[in-house]
Structure 1
Amino acid sequence: MRAVERVFHSVSFEVIAVTLSIAGLAAFTEHDIAALSGTMIVIASVAMVWNYAFNWVFDLYVKGDKTKRTFSMRLFHVILFEAGLLVLTIPIMAYLLSVSLWNAFLMDLGVTIFITIYAFLFNLSYDHIRAAVIQRRACNNQV
């Protein structure tokens, strides 16, 4: 993937994730769209910074070829990442939405579960759509 495509992938992932998270929270809470929108934009920004910092530190401690990491190491990685993100974002969500830490935890946990499933489906779909586009371009160039 070239840099422009990586930016497109990341931005489209985040825009859709934030939009769907806002809609989901609006459906299950009493908060207005404006408060949820601001909150989710802040949470997504924190997540992007955390992603960079966490993976940098993780890679300092877990050496070796990343393609050879075991399933259990990958599971450990994602659980540690998500736990750290929850620790960072629960107080932010509680403050911005004026809810208790417990309510923020429940809301944030719901978003985390959703984002995990969404990330899997988004990347699976993106990979297949990308392959189809590349194949179509190759066919058009041969004609």
Structure 2
Amino acid sequence: MGTLERVFHSVLFETLAVTSSILGLALFTDHDIGALSGTMIVIATMAMIWNYLFNLGFDRVMPGEKTQRSMSLRVIHVLLFEAGLLFFTIPVMAFILKVSLWQALLMDLGVTIFITIYAFLFNLIYDHVRAHVLQRRVLKGVRAVS
């Protein structure tokens, strides 16, 4: 996966994640949509940077065909990613929303549980759709040569 595709992957992931997270937090907290939107945009920006760096490193440590990754490796991948992200986002959420670190932890854990499931499904689907698209390109190239 090249740099341009990694950026596309991160932006698509975060756009869907931010929208869902804002709606979820609005349902379960008394913060207004404006404050939550600003917070989640900052968190998403942090997550996009972390996503790029973490996955670049993970792919170097675990090379090979992504569609062949085991479920246990996918679970480890998403848990490591989310734990690293929590480390950075809890203080930011506490500061922006003017809540304690404990409250930020609870809010961020709620978002993280949702995002962990979402990330697992998003990446599983993305990897298989990507493999399908690449396979179709190869088949079109073979037909064009024939």
TM-score by length of 2: 0.69
- The residue aligned with 1:30 is 30
Structure 1 residue 51: Cα displacement: 4.9
Q: Is the 8 A contact 2:26 2:36 kept in 1?
A: yes
- Distance (whole Å) between structure 1 residues aligned to residue 84 and residue 3 of structure 2: 28
Alignment identity in percent?
66
Bigger Cα displacement from structure 2, 84-93 vs 117-126: 84-93
CA RMSD of aligned residues (A): 3.5
Amino acid at match of 1:103: Q
- Distance (whole Å) between structure 2 residues aligned to residue 25 and residue 92 of structure 1: 16
- Distance (whole Å) between structure 2 residues aligned to residue 124 and residue 55 of structure 1: 14
Structure 1 residue 55: Cα displacement: 7.3
- Distance (whole Å) between structure 1 residues aligned to residue 120 and residue 78 of structure 2: 13
Amino acid at match of 2:26: A
- The residue aligned with 2:114 is 114
- Distance (whole Å) between structure 1 residues aligned to residue 23 and residue 142 of structure 2: 41
Structure 1 residue 45: Cα displacement: 2.1
- The residue aligned with 2:94 is 94
Structure 1 residue 135: Cα displacement: 4.8
Aligned residues: 135
What does the per-residue CA deviation read over 1:26-56, in whole Å, with 9 as the maximum and x for residues that have no partner? 1111111111111011112223444566678
- Distance (whole Å) between structure 2 residues aligned to residue 82 and residue 100 of structure 1: 21
**Residues 142, 115 of structure 1: alpha-carbon distance in 2 compared, 3 angstrom cutoff:** same
Q: Is the 8 A contact 2:35 2:97 kept in 1?
A: yes
- The residue aligned with 2:128 is 128
Aligned with 1:66 (options 62, 70, 86):
62
Q: What residue ranges of structure 2 are gaps of 5+ in the alignment?
A: 65-71
**Residues 24, 140 of structure 1: alpha-carbon distance in 2 compared, 3 angstrom cutoff:** farther
**Residues 123, 85 of structure 1: alpha-carbon distance in 2 compared, 3 angstrom cutoff:** closer
User: For 1:92, what is the secondary structure of its paired residue?
Assistant: helix
Amino acid at match of 2:10: S
- Distance (whole Å) between structure 2 residues aligned to residue 80 and residue 136 of structure 1: 33
**Residues 27, 116 of structure 1: alpha-carbon distance in 2 compared, 3 angstrom cutoff:** same
Q: Is the 8 A contact 2:26 2:32 kept in 1?
A: yes
Structure 1 residue 83: Cα displacement: 3.5
Structure 1 residue 108: Cα displacement: 0.4
